[in-house]
Amino acid sequence: MARKYQLKKEVQTGTSGIDYAKELNEQQYAAVSSQPGPALVIAGAGSGKTRTLTYRVAYLLDQGIDPKNILLLTFTNKAAREMVDRVRELVPRDLSELWAGTFHSIGSRILRRHAEEMGLTRSFSIMDRDDQKSLIKTVIASCDIDTKQRRFPKADVLISIFSLIENTGITLEELLETRYPYFEEWVEEISQVAAGYQAKKMDTNCVDFDDLLILPLKLFQKNQELCSLYQKRFQFVLVDEYQDTNRVQSELIDILARPQLSVMVVGDDAQSIYSWRGADMDHILSFPKRYDGAQVYKIETNYRSVPEVLNLSNAAIRANRKQFTKTLNAARPGGSMIPALIPLEDPRKQADFIAQRILELREEGVQMEEMAVLYRAHHQSLEIQMELTSRGIPFEITSGLRFFEQQHIKDVAAFLRFAVNRRDEVSFKRFCLMLPGIGGVSADKLWREWLKTGLAKEEKPPELFSQVMHQFKVPKKAAKDWEQLCYVLDEMVMGGGEFSRPADMITSVLEGVYREYMQQSFDNFENRQQDIEQLILYAEGFDDILELLEQLSLMSSVDGDPSGSKAERDDEKVTLSSIHQAKGLEWKAVFLIWLTDGMFPNGRILEADDEDMLEEERRLFYVALTRAKNELYLTYPQINPKSYTGDVIQRPSRFLDECPSEMMELWEVTPSW
C-alpha cells in the first residue's frame, strides 16, 4: 500500500477581514461556517439563499481553500456570474481557477477536454433546437417511415420526448403512455428515430444540450481514473437550486462529491415546481438519507415580504405531507394590509378590478414595474391583456407572447380570415402549410388553383368550399387532411352565404383539423388547446365575425400600434407572468388571479386524483404568494361563461379553503352604478 504524504502550504486565514457572524444572521452563519462534509441548506423564499452561497465561497477562501478546489453549480449563467462577482468583492483573490457555472457549461468544459474518450473530437458542435430539428428530420427521412396515413410527431415533439427519457430515466413506452398517449401506435418508429438520432450525432461530431450532462456522466462512469482526478480537484462542491435537479444532474453531483463528500446543496423543497420538465424533488428530500451524517440547516428569516403575506404563505404550504417543515419569519415590521380576497362576478369583472386597482396604486406612488399579475396558465391572462390595452396601461408578458400573437392563435385565425376574405393569400397559404407534404411550392400552386375558380372575388362565400376545392391537386400525403380542411371551411358558412357564429367557427377549426395538428406539432399541446378554448369563450361575446377579426388584429399589436414603438417608449410596465416564470422574482404588489378549482389547481390534476401532483400545485401556490413584498390580491371569478353549456358557477380554489379566513380580508366589489 502506498504511503500517503500531504503537501503543506502557507495558509492565510481571514484575509478578507469579513466578520461573518456580524454580516449574516444566525441561521445563515451556521450554514456558511459549517465544517467540511455533506450539508443541506433549506433556504426559504426571500431568505438570502444567494447571499448564503456567496459567503460560503468567501468563507472557504478565507480558510485557505484554493479557488481551483471549489466547484459552484447553478441553473443560470447570470446567477453564477453574480455570485463570483460578489465573492470577488468580498475576497480580493484571483478567482480565475474557480469553476462556476451552469450544469451545462461545466459539462461542456469537461467534455471539451476529453471528447475523444466519448467518440468525439474537441471541435464538436453544440446544436441548438433548430439544428436538432434539422438533424431529426434527416433521420426520419432515412428511416423510411410511412406517415401518409397517420400523423407522425414533428421534430419539436420528438426533441422533448428524447430529452425527458434521457433526463428522467423513464422508458419510451412509459413516457408515451403517461404524457403522449396519442403517439403510442408509433412506439417502434419513434424508437428507431431515437437510435438513428444518437448515431447521426456521433457521425456528424455534434452534441445537443442534454449530451452536455449525459456524456460527462458516462465519461466518469466509464473512466474511474479520470473521475478520480476531478473528485480530487473539486474538494468542495456547492449547488444552487438543488430542488430543481433532474436524475442526470443529481448523479453528476453524487459522483463528483465522492469520496470526501464535502458537498453543500442549497434549495427549497417548497419551491419545487418543475417536475414536468424532469426535476425530481425526491433528490432534496432524500439527501440526508443518501449522505450519511449530512447536516441540515434551515434559513427561515425572510427579508422580502411583510408578516401578513408570510403568515398566509406558511399556512398555505402546511397541508403538504412531503416537505421539510419550516416557518418563514419576517425581518420587516408588520402593519401593512392583510392579503385581500376578492370574489368577482366573472372574468371581465376580474379584469376591470385589476386594471382599476393598478391605476389606483400608481396614484398612490407604486411604480408599475413594481406590480405583477400572476396566473397558473398563460390563457388565463386573456381578459387582463384586453382590459389593460383598452385602458392604455402598458404591460410586458414574461410567460410568452401576447395572447393573440401566439402561433396557434394565428393559425386558427387564418381559417377565419380566409373564410371572410377569400383574397387573403397569406391566410390561405398559412393553413395549407400545416398539411403534411405541402411546402411553399405546393401552397403556391393551390393558391393559383383557387384564383382560377373566380370565387375569390365573389361578394359572399360559397355555400360549400368543398365542392370546388376537392378538385384541387394536392400531394398524396396531404389528400385526407385536405379533404377534412375543406369540410371545416364548409362548416363556417350557413345557408345563404352567411357566416356561422364566430365561436362555432373556431370550434369547427379546433375539432375538425387543428387539435390533431397540435398533438403532432407541439410538445405543450394541452396548454395550446386551453388557449384556443379560451379564444372560443372570448368569441362568445361576438355575433359578427368581422368584429371579432378586427379585435384580433388590434390586440395582436401594442395598443393598436403594429410597430410596437409605443411599448418601447413606455419605461413603466406592469408584469404579466405565469407563476413558473415568476419564480425568483418579487414585486411590491401582486395580483394572483383565477383562484378556482379547475384553474388553480389545474383541472387535469384534480381529475387524476394524484396527491403528489396536487402537492406540486400547492407549492406553486406558495411560490406565487411569496412573490409579494407589500400587497397581495387574491381574485377569482364566481361565474365562468362556457360555450353551449351556459354559465358555470366556479368553486373557489381549495387552496384558499386551507388558509385561515382571518389571514385574508374579504373585499366586496360593487358595480359602478
SS3 per-residue string spanning 419-462: HHCCCCHHHHHHHHCCCCCCCHHHHHHHHHHHHHCCHHHCCCCC
> Which parts of 316-424 are beta strand (E)?
329-330, 340-344, 371-375, 395-397
Q: 340-344 and 628-637 as β-strands: parallel, antiparallel, unpaired?
A: parallel
DSSP assignment, residue 511?
A: I
**Per-residue confidence (pLDDT) for residue 245, from 0 to 100:** 95
| Measured distance CA(119)–CA(198) in Å, rounded | 12
Cβ neighbours, 10 Å, residue 280: 21
How confident is the model at residue 149, as a pLDDT? 61
463, 498 contact by CB (below 8 A) = no
- E strands, 525-621, are 574-578, 587-592
Answer whether 446's CB lies under 8 Å from 117's CB: no
Residues labelled catalytic: 49-50, 240-241, 271, 627
Closest to 603 (Cα-Cα) out of 523, 530, 540, 528: 530
* pTM summary value: 0.84
- Region of 177 (left: φ > 0; alpha: ψ -120 to 50; beta: rest) is alpha
Strands 628-637 and 587-592 come out as parallel
pLDDT number for residue 305? 96
Which pLDDT belongs to residue 555? 65
Q: In whole angstroms, what is the distance from residue 67 CA to residue 60 CA?
A: 9
Please say whether the beta carbons of 266 and 83 come within 8 A: no
Tell me how far apart the alpha carbons of residues 43 and 52 are, in angstroms, rounded to a whole number: 9
What is the C-alpha separation between 169 and 594, in angstroms, rounded? 35
Contacts of 459 (CB under 8 A, 6+ apart): none
Ranges under pLDDT 50 in the chain: 10-13, 558-569, 643-644
Give the list of residues 6+ apart from residue 138 with CB closer than 8 angstroms, or none: 200
